[in-house]
Amino acid sequence: MKRYLDALVLNDLSKKAVILTGPRQVGKTTLSQQLMEKFTHAQYLNWDVPADRKILQRQTWNPKAGLLVVDEIHKMRNWKSWLKGVIDGRSPEQALLVTGSARMDTFRQSGESLAGRYFSCRLHPISVKEWCEQEGGGASQALDHLLERGGFPEPCLAKSATEADRWRAQYFTDLIREDVLEFSRLHEINVMRLFIDVLRDRVGSPLSLASIARDLEVSPATLKTYLEILKALFIVFTIHPWHRNVGRAMLQMPKIYFFDTGLVRGDQGVRLENAVAGMLLKQRDFLRDSHGVDAGLHYIRTKDGAEVDFVISENDSITQLIECKLSDSTPHKSLIRFAAQFSQAQALQIVANLRQEEVVHGVRITDAAQWLAQLEV
């Protein structure tokens, strides 16, 4: 399956090194292999493969390779210094693609800076837009499929739901046993497992680490560290409340979502909200990575409990207010309130099971699948 970043990464490789990150098994290696076919004598080296590791340490790869793909290099000690030397010393004719399943800015940081030496691209799971473009079919069918399977390529493209379930069970085990342990050197891995289980039931709700810490009998500081690990490994992401003062927004409780909707526990409405959050994050990251747009993704909540699921901003101004519903086409009271307060923004209530579109009190009530299909990615 051709992925949405193919053209962007190929174009960027002609100018600078590219660092491609994203969750484990989201399709980074497949995308790399597809790009390798467009170069002469391309070479792929993975730090996790002992034979490849020796070549990387000695830097004895083919100097005439048109494209060098280096995977999981962030696991190398002092990887930033190593990569800086490779970027600065490589032939101008050799393109360099670095891939990893962790946020490179948080993994074993060192004092070296790679500023100005690379383009960053983030690969996300399959969305309604991407499914419709690559696999055909209608938007509603695509959304139903993604709510059932999630957007990771293997379960999404699996021939049966059983195959998808088997993949997810192994995926979850490997995340804990390999990625989390290797990234963090955690000793209390059982606490981390319990923490993830709790988060699977808290999707879309303001996240109180203090409350969860009491239940798990650990400190809030420990859970804050665990949450940062899960975010760095692209297992979960958080959305913070909208506030013009970034510092104040970060101090308020975020909402938690999973990159893999298949990991979410809850009813269809919760899974829908998680899927929409993931697709909006995908759009935000694409706009940032491809166009340098200062795009933001938040939610909005007042002290009296009025809340809207998602707020889209650009250059610190709200452009869209989005409420996500499974079947309720009655305009949400909070959305009407905020639509009047932020009159410059488009107010949308996207509904999965909608009979008719309409505009009520300044709120556009529209079909969720059709609206998601018109996003950029």
At 1, the pLDDT band (50, 70, 90 cuts) reads confident
CB 93 within 8 A of CB 103: no
Phi and psi at residue 327, to the nearest 5°: -145, -10
State the average pLDDT over residues 323-336.
Answer: 94
Please report, for residues 2, 43, 56, 104, 284, the alpha-carbon distance to residue 5 in angstroms, rounded to integers and kept in the order given: 9, 20, 26, 18, 14
Residue 231 CA from chain centroid, whole number: 9
Q: Is the pLDDT of residue 247 over 90?
A: no
pLDDT score for 106: 56
Q: Is the pLDDT of residue 249 over 50?
A: no
Residue 71, C-beta contacts closer than 8 angstroms, at least 6 positions apart:
28, 29, 32, 44, 45, 46, 47, 48, 98, 99, 100
Q: Is the pLDDT of residue 108 over 50?
A: no
pLDDT score for 244: 66
Among 105, 59, 103, which residue's Cα sits nearest to residue 85?
59
pLDDT score for 223: 94
State the average pLDDT over residues 244-271.
Answer: 82
Least confident stretch, 73-77, 250-254, 316-320, 351-355: 250-254
Q: Which of 46-60, 70-84, 107-121, 248-262 has the highest mean pLDDT?
A: 46-60
CB 73 within 8 A of CB 79: yes
CB 345 within 8 A of CB 339: yes
State the average pLDDT over residues 243-266.
Answer: 80
CB 320 within 8 A of CB 345: yes
Per-residue pLDDT of 32-88, as tens digits, reads 999 999 998 999 999 999 999 999 999 999 999 999 999 999 888 889 899 999 999
- Indicate the domain borders of the chain: 6-122, 128-373
pLDDT score for 185: 66
CB 102 within 8 A of CB 75: no
Q: Please, what is the average pLDDT of the chain?
A: 91
At 105, the pLDDT band (50, 70, 90 cuts) reads low
State the average pLDDT over residues 210-239.
Answer: 94
CB 40 within 8 A of CB 15: no
CATH superfamily of 6-122: P-loop containing nucleotide triphosphate hydrolases (3.40.50.300)
Report the percentage of the chain scoring pLDDT > 90: 77
pLDDT score for 302: 87
Q: Which residue has the higher pLDDT, 218 or 113?
A: 218
pLDDT score for 248: 54
Per-residue pLDDT of 125-152, as tens digits, reads 999 999 998 888 899 999 999 999 999 9
pLDDT score for 111: 56
Distance CA 365, CA 129 (A): 20
CB 190 within 8 A of CB 216: no
At 188, the pLDDT band (50, 70, 90 cuts) reads confident
Report the percentage of the chain scoring pLDDT > 70: 94
Q: Is the pLDDT of residue 109 over 60?
A: no
Distance CA 330, CA 138 (A): 25
Q: How many alpha carbons fall within 13 Å on the CB side of residue 183?
A: 30
Per-residue pLDDT of 144-183, as tens digits, reads 999 999 999 999 999 999 999 999 999 988 888 777 777 6
Residue 313 CA from chain centroid, whole number: 18
pLDDT score for 178: 77
Q: Is the pLDDT of residue 258 over 50?
A: yes
Beta bridge partners of 69: 44, 97
Strands laid side by side in the 295-301 sheet:
295-301, 307-314, 317-325, 346-351, 363-367, 358-360
State the average pLDDT over residues 318-342.
Answer: 95
